[in-house]
Structure formats: C-alpha cells, structure tokens
C-alpha cells in the first residue's frame, strides 16, 4: 500500500447547481444561508472560496460532504448526486478534529479503521503517512503534547490517508501563526501535487487563496451567492508560498479579486456594526 512515488487517485468533479440552503431557527424563523449558488470544481483542481464572515462558505462545504442536504438545487460529485456522506471525501477543520485520548498513530489510523481495514494494516498505513508529513517518531504522543503546526500535520495525514478524491478544507490554517502557516501551505501543496484530489478550500485570507488555488470563488455577504469566479493562471509548481507573493502577476490578481471582495466585506461589516449600534 502507498508506494513511493504515489500515483494518486484522480480527483472528482464537483458540480454545485442552483443550490439554496435554508435553516429553521429555534424560534421558527427561516434563515437563508446561501442562495442559488452555482459553480464547478474541475477534477484535480484546487479551488478556493473567499467571502465575508457568515456568508455561508462552511454551509457550502457541508453540502458537498453530504453532512447536510440542500433545500433546493443539487450537488454532484463525480456525476453522482450527493445523498448522505459522499464516498472518497475528507474534511479538515480550523479547530482540531483529533481525538485527544488517541495517540497520533491511532488518530491517523482512524480513517482506514472506520472503513473496516484490519488494525495492523491500518497502523502500517498510518505510520507511512506520518513519515510523509514528517512526524516519524511521534507515533505514541497524544495530540496535546504536540505544537499547533504538528497537530495540523497529523490532521493532514488523517485526512489524506483515505486517498480522497475530494478534500474539503474549512479555514484549516486560520489559527496558525504566520510562519507556521506558510510552512503548512507549502506542505499541503506538495502533498496535493502527489495525490491530486479536487480541493475546496475556504479561507478569509485572500493572499492564501491566490497563492494556493487554480480558481478563486468570491461569495457575497449573507445570504451567500456567487459574485465572481477568477481563474488563477500562475504556473505550477509554484514553489515556496512565501516567494510567490512578490511576483507582479500575483499582485495583479490579488488586486482584481480584492476589488470584487472589498464591497462585500464592507457590506457585511456595516451590517454587524449596525446591529451593534
């Protein structure tokens, strides 16, 4: 299992067409989180979603993973309508989703173990993945004994061990300091280039979005709709994330997308400020 170099499972196409998601609040009111959302992620593409706080970015991810169902419209993964947890999907959250009572090895081995792989085989796979994210020798530690960056690596190994066709990331590096974030971004891109799953990556950080993604989707403030879609044609491999930020093409794309995003951020901010006043 998992021989080097990894051949990789081809990523799956994600089609989101005419999706609206409404929630019923406990007081009985209807809250529309996202409205008529339409976009596509090509197989193996890295797609980033940016938008103001509370615009329904995470809701969109939940719909693709099958944790939630759309109120209207449909989500298709590899041409199949999502109904229940979609197969071949992995999730990475901003907060730790590691089990604190399991060792690092046990946490990474969860994916195969949940799918019925024998314990020994699952642990062998987990060992291999820990080596690939640079954590060999830390197998027996518990999550609380690791730094934030190391925990992210564990989460990354745990998400990739199932060799997903789709990787959903909800601000995965949002809580990290700037230096650790840059290292983790470079590592993520390295692993993504080996496996090539389709990635849907949510972030607040526009620089991060432009540096990592092939496509950037801008969402409007609540209820979230698609405002614009930008294709990022920076060549790959892009090398270290820190260096790309100073290239003129990067700066130009950043400026264009920010133009589009700024208005929404300001609207969202005015709304929260209005509520506060």
Partner 1 sequence: MNTSHDAGAAQPVQHNGTYMMPVESPMRTAQDAARLEGGDAKRGANPGRRMARVRRLRVVAAQIVLAVVLIGSWQLLTTWKVVDPFFFGQPSGIAKQLKDYFTQGDQATEFGSYWSQIFTTMREAVFGFLLGTAGGIVLGIGLGVSPFMAKVIGPYIKIFNAIPRIVLGSIFLVAFGLGPTPKILLAAVLVFFVVFFNAFQGVREVDRNVLNNARVLGASKLRIVKDVTLPSALTWIIASLHTAFGFAIVGAIVGEVLGAQSGLGLVIATAQNQFNPDGVFATMFVIAVITLCVEFILTRVERRLLSWRPPSQSEAAAI
Q: What is the contact surface with partner 1 in residues (CB under 8 A)?
A: 65-67, 85, 87, 89-91, 93, 95-102, 110-111, 114-115, 140-142, 144-145, 158, 162, 168
Spatial distance between the Cα atoms of 56 and 221, rounded to a whole number of angstroms: 8
Task: Pick the closest to residue 60 from 173, 231, 224 (CA basis).
Answer: 224
Q: Which residues of 118-134 are buried (b: 16+ CB within 10 A; e: fewer)?
A: eeeebbbbbbbbbebbe
Angle at which helices 119-132 and 148-160 cross, to 10°: 130
Cα separation values, 142 from 116, 122, 134, 183, Å:
23, 18, 16, 22
Which CB sits closer to partner 1, 91 or 192? 91
The answer to whether residues 201 and 215 touch, using CB atoms and an 8 Å cutoff, is: no
Q: How far is the CB of 228 from partner 1 (least distance, A)?
A: 29
Which CB sits closer to partner 1, 138 or 258? 138
- The dihedral region occupied by 64, where left means phi > 0, alpha psi between -120 and 50, and beta the remainder, is alpha
Report the half-sphere exposure of 239 (CA within 13 A, side-chain side).
8
Q: How far is the CB of 264 from partner 1 (least distance, A)?
A: 26
Q: How far is the CB of 154 from partner 1 (least distance, A)?
A: 12
Q: How far is the CB of 138 from partner 1 (least distance, A)?
A: 11
Q: How far is the CB of 273 from partner 1 (least distance, A)?
A: 29
Which CB sits closer to partner 1, 91 or 201? 91
Which CB sits closer to partner 1, 11 or 111? 111
Q: How far is the CB of 101 from partner 1 (least distance, A)?
A: 4
Which CB sits closer to partner 1, 161 or 212? 161
In three-state form (DSSP H/G/I as H, E/B as E, the rest C), the secondary structure along 224-253 is ECEEEEEECCCCCCCCCHHHHCCCHHHHHH
Which CB sits closer to partner 1, 95 or 251? 95
């Amino acid at each position: 299992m998992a021989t080097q170099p990894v051949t990789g499972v081809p990523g799956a196409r994600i089609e989101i067409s005419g999706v609206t998601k409404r929630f019923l609040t406990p007081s009985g009111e209807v809250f529309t989180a996202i409205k008529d959302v339409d976009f596509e992620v090509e197989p193996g593409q890295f797609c980033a979603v940016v938008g103001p706080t509370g615009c329904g970015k995470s809701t969109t991810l939940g719909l693709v993973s099958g944790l939630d169902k759309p109120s209207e419209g449909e989500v298709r993964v590899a041409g199949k309508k999502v109904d229940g947890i979609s197969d071949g999907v992995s999730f990475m959250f901003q907060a730790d989703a590691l089990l604190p009572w399991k060792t690092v090895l046990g946490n990474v081995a969860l994916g195969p173990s949940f799918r019925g792989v024998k314990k020994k085989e699952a642990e062998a796979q987990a060992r291999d993945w820990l080596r690939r994210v640079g954590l060999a020798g830390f197998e027996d530690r518990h999550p609380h004994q690791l730094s934030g960056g190391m925990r992210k690596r564990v989460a990354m190994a745990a998400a990739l061990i199932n060799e997903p066709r789709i990787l959903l990331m909800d601000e995965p590096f949002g809580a990290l300091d700037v230096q650790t974030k840059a290292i983790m971004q470079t590592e993520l891109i390295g692993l993504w280039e080996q496996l090539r799953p389709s990635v849907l990556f949510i972030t607040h950080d526009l620089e991060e979005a432009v540096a990592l993604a092939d496509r950037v989707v801008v969402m409007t403030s609540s209820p979230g709709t698609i405002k614009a879609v930008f294709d990022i044609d920076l060549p790959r491999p892009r090398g270290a994330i820190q260096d790309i930020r100073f290239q003129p093409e990067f700066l130009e794309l950043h400026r264009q997308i920010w133009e589009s995003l700024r208005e929404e951020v300001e609207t969202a901010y005015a709304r929260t400020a209005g509520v506060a006043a």
